[in-house]
Every structure is written in structure tokens, then in C-alpha cells.
Structure 1
Amino acid sequence: MGTTPPAGTTSPSTSTSRSTSTSATATPTPKAAPRQKSTPTPTPTPTAKKPGDSLNPGDSGAYVETVQRQLSDLGYWNGIPDGQFGQLTVQAVMALQKAAGLGRDGVFGPATRRALLAGVRPTSQVGGTGIEIDKARQLLLVVRGGQVTMILNTSTGSGQHYSYEGQDAVALTPSGTFSVFRTVDHLDKGPLGDLWRPRYFNGGIAVHGAAAIPGYPASHGCARLSDAAMDMIWADGLMPVGSRVVVY
């Protein structure tokens, strides 16, 4: 006959069984590795441009301002030198490139720098006082007393065919001597596009501001300038009614 264990005790076989069960339940779960924090990539500091470097739209600094002043001194209008290579400086650089017979990309590279240092600038072909539009080089010249005082990038008639009022037409800027006969001091919405503050000198052909002035002929016949250049012409009274415009 077996002996009953005292209260509060267990038999050896029962104790062994519980110990095995407890050991299996208490096996620790491996912990996940801590998440690594990503380190942000530092933004590189722009390298300051120095004399002799190429300059691109968007560049800024003392060297840009030096180039802007040199362009202005030669007559290539680019507003007030401010050290920012913006659209006005692009237009001035393109005008210099056209005068020098270079590629017309608006980038101030080695060949353009040499042209600037050499003082390349166009001269008047007719003398006197007025405006000259050089179609071959796509330049607009402000002439006073036979001397070119300002050089602007322009874009004249593309020579392409287009349709107007059901008729085929060709985008040409006729050569000849004309005079300003009408001005519009606001945006003039014409049948072929919008003209900013135009100064008409030959029928519907005018010198006017436009959003795009590429390095090649692209208009329907007008001479395009930047809006800022057109504002300057108005502010300085450079093309009053009756003034001469020579296209060649």
C-alpha cells in the first residue's frame, strides 16, 4: 500500500515533468536588430567661379558681375550688373556671340570670353541716328551720331511658310528704310500672336517684346526683343514716332 505524500510536496516523477514543460515555455525570443538611422547626404557647396571659368545661366558671384560690366561697357545691354547670370545676361552673351560669329548658346565659354576681351562689337552700316536691324547676324543696333551705342539680341522673320486668313504667307522681315509710325504702350494681341509694347515701322511689322528670343530667325516678320529690353526702349525714348529704322 503506497504512502500519500504530505501536502505541499510533489512526487519526483511529477516534478521532473513540470520542470521540462517550464523550460520549453521560457525559451527567449530573439530580439530584432535596432533600425539604423539614415544619414542625409550633404548638399555640395557650389564652387565659386573665378576669372577664366566658363559661366552658365544660374551662376552667380563677383566674376559674373565683372563679365556683366564688361558686356555693358561694350554696349551689350544686360540691365544692371548684379552678379546673377539670368536671362538678360544670356541675351547679352548671345548678342556678343552673334557679333563674333560664334555658336549662339548663351553660355560664356572660352571663345566668347576671348571675343569679350578683344572688344568685338558691330559698327553702323548707314550712320546717322536711328535703329538698325541686322538680319544676317540677328542683332538690333541703337545708333546715335553714326556710333553704335547699344546692341541687342533679336529674332526676325523665319522665312517659313504659314497660313494667315486662309492664305499661304512667308515669314519675312523686308529690308529697307522705314520710320516708326505707331506705338502701343501695352500688350497688343495680334492675329499671329501677342506683341509686348510694339513700335510699328512697316505695316504690321514692329519691334516688340516677346517671351522667347532664340539665336536664330523665328518670328512671323517682326523683330523680337526681350520684354525687359522693350521696357528699356520705352523708358529711354529710343524709338519715338518718326524715328528711322533701317533693315538690312
Structure 2
Amino acid sequence: MALVPAVAAPATAYAVAATSPVSAQANPTLHFGDKGAAVTRLQQRLIALHYDPGTVDGQYGSQTRFAVWAFQKVQGMHPTQAAPVGKLTWAALAKPKTPKSIVKGGAKNRAEVNLSRQLLYIYKGGKLVLISHISSGRAYYYQNGQKINARTPTGNYAVYRKAKGWETGPLGKLYKGNYFLRGYAIHGEPDVPLYPASHGCVRTPMHTADIVANLLPIGTKVYLRGKAPA
């Protein structure tokens, strides 16, 4: 799937991107499971804004819902499991906000993980090319009755190893893992809920993981900031 480069974010917390013929009045409220031309327009618009709704097929499935969650979070909304696309979301799609980089002076080719917003941003040549919903590490998990820290580390790292498909690492099963610190990776996972749920890694939707794998060659800088919601 082609991703169209976006303009660099200016100094304000969020910058208003270019307007679009998409409007709240021209489109119906959409719900998970809906089909039709309005869903196709939604998917096309999300792709133009650097989100990944999956295949443009006019079907509001899980991958499109992941992209809607990411978009709504960037716009300052509070997405729900149902992820309806109503008047407010259509209006935001017409005049969207673009997320500001979370690092100053970062590498032109980089991944940024905003733990506070549970979002992933990828930049190529200094331009934002992908925005994705994620699920990072929760506070802890239990293994053999032992309480184990599951927080995703913050800091500056780089991709040092990549997996071509599924593999089992120290923190569990990972799809196309992009390892940046010991067993921590940005990787695909079928279950990417609206809350931190991993053992410490950064989960992305499966379809998005294929795109991420191509955008993060070995050596790509990875910056993680913020604190995951409780």
C-alpha cells in the first residue's frame, strides 16, 4: 500500500493539514461492519493522511477500525471499541490535525513511540509517512506466580535485528519484530486493544506490521517517550 508523505509538523502541538472535499454533511455515520461507498471514501482519506486502514475494499473491518482509533486519538478524541465515524470524525477528516514530533533534533529516518497517546509515528527523510495505533506494555504480568515488570522502556534506541515472520522471543510471540533493545521490539499482533496489554513490546496491527517492517531497516532510530495509561 502506498503511503503519501506528509508535511513536517510545525511548532504548535498539532498543525491543521490541508483541507479535503470530505465533509460531515456528505457522509453517513459509519459503524464497524458497515459496507459501501462511504467506507471506501473513509479508507482513501485515511491513507492520504498516512494511516493504514488496510485494503480499500469498502468494508469497515478490524484494520479500518485500528486506523480510525489512531486518527481519533490524534484529533484529541477518545475512541471507543465501537469506533463510530460520525459528524465530528468526518469534520476532522476534512480539516485534520497532524501530530507534532515527540523528539527534537531526531534522525530524519526514525520511529517515534508516543506511549502517552499509544501511537506510533514513522518518518522518512524527515517527513511523516505512517501513523498507527499501538498497544504498549502494561505495568506488570504474572509468570509462574511471579510478578514481572512489563513496562515499555523509554529512551533513544535503534533497530538492531529484524524478524522475517513469526518467532518466539523472551517476551512472547512476535510477528515481524523490529528489535531495538534486548527482547523489546515493535511488532505485529492480532490483539491490539485500546489499552496497554503487551509484555513490554510495542504492538501494531498485523497489516500495519508489514508496512512497518519495510520502513524500519536495521539502524533506524527508535525514540520512545511518555507514560502509558494505567
Pick the TM interval, shorter chain.
0.7 to 0.9
| CA distance in 1: counterparts of 2:138 and 2:149, whole angstroms | 8
| CA distance in 1: counterparts of 2:65 and 2:118, whole angstroms | 15
Q: Deviations over 1:119-175 (max 9, x none)?
A: 12213233422111111111111112332111011111112x223466432211111
Question: Post-superposition shift, 1:100?
Answer: 1.5
Secondary structure of 1:194's counterpart equals strand
State the aligned residue count: 196
Give 1:37-56 correspondences, 5 Å limit. Answer: 51-56=26-31
**More off after superposition, 103-112 vs 67-76:** 103-112
> Would you say the 8 A contact 1:122–1:148 is kept in 2?
no
> Would you say the 8 A contact 2:75–2:96 is kept in 1?
no
Counterpart of 2:37 in structure 1 is 62
Alignment pair present for 1:162 and 2:141: yes
Runs of 5+ unmatched residues, structure 1:
1-49
Whichever residue aligns with residue 97 of structure 2, its letter is V
- Which of residues 155, 167, 174 in structure 2 aligns to 1:176? 155
Counterpart of 1:13 in structure 2 is none
| CA distance in 1: counterparts of 2:223 and 2:134, whole angstroms | 14
CA-based RMSD of the aligned residues comes to 1.8
Q: Deviations over 1:48-83 (max 9, x none)?
A: xx9332111111111111111111111112233221
Question: Post-superposition shift, 1:96?
Answer: 0.6
| CA distance in 2: counterparts of 1:135 and 1:198, whole angstroms | 18
1:197 to 1:83, Cα distance in 2 relative to 1, 3 A: same
**Rg larger in structure:** 1
Question: Post-superposition shift, 1:216?
Answer: 1.8
Q: Which has the higher helix share?
A: 1
Counterpart of 2:52 in structure 1 is 77
Runs of 5+ unmatched residues, structure 2:
1-24, 226-230
Whichever residue aligns with residue 199 of structure 2, its letter is H
Secondary structure of 1:121's counterpart equals strand
| CA distance in 1: counterparts of 2:195 and 2:142, whole angstroms | 21
> Would you say the 8 A contact 1:78–1:91 is kept in 2?
yes
Greater RCO (Cα-Cα under 8 Å, separation 6 or more): 2
Question: Post-superposition shift, 1:198?
Answer: 0.9
Percent identical residues: 38
**TM-score normalised per structure 2:** 0.79
> Would you say the 8 A contact 1:183–1:241 is kept in 2?
yes
Counterpart of 1:130 in structure 2 is 110
Give 1:1-248 correspondences, 5 Å limit. Answer: 51-105=26-80, 106-126=83-103, 127=106, 128-159=108-139, 161-164=140-143, 167-234=146-213, 237-248=214-225
**More off after superposition, 75-84 vs 120-129:** 120-129
Secondary structure of 1:214's counterpart equals coil
**TM-score normalised per structure 1:** 0.73
